[in-house]
Amino acid sequence: MAIEGALGMLMGIVALIAVFTFVSVAVWSENRRKERESYYRHETLKKVVEQPGETSQRVLDHFRHEEVRKDLLRRDGMRLGGLITFVVGVGLLILLRALEPDKGLYLVSLLPLLIGGVLALYSFTIRVDPKGKV
């Protein structure tokens, strides 16, 4: 019986180590990918700057358009996250109010509700400039 407990504990430790190792490698590889993308982007921009002309202007316009697209995607992601958090707050409010109507426990749901509202409101008010500035 003691061997089963030790074996279970050992399996838990091995699983924990495996999870942290996987997360570490995943984060490292993602950062390495971003570093390579940044390096290649910088090299491309350096070559474009060295060769003036209409082609270089089109490439620079493409890079600006890509930055605006990234900003729009980031804003839309923030909007979606804010709306989801807001809806979770509303659902939690309804659930806690139904479970304990006499207690003020449902007021805890104001935290995700307000955080989601602020995120959504901010994402609706942020403006993305077509020239690449937010």
Q: Is the pLDDT of residue 133 over 70?
A: no
Tell me the C-alpha distance between 69 and 2, whole Å.
Answer: 59
Residue type, 10: L
Tell me the C-alpha distance between 38 and 29, whole Å.
Answer: 14
- Position with higher pLDDT, 3 vs 24: 24
Token pair in block for residue 46:
């350096």
pLDDT in tens, 28-38: 999 999 999 88
> Residue 56 has what pLDDT?
73
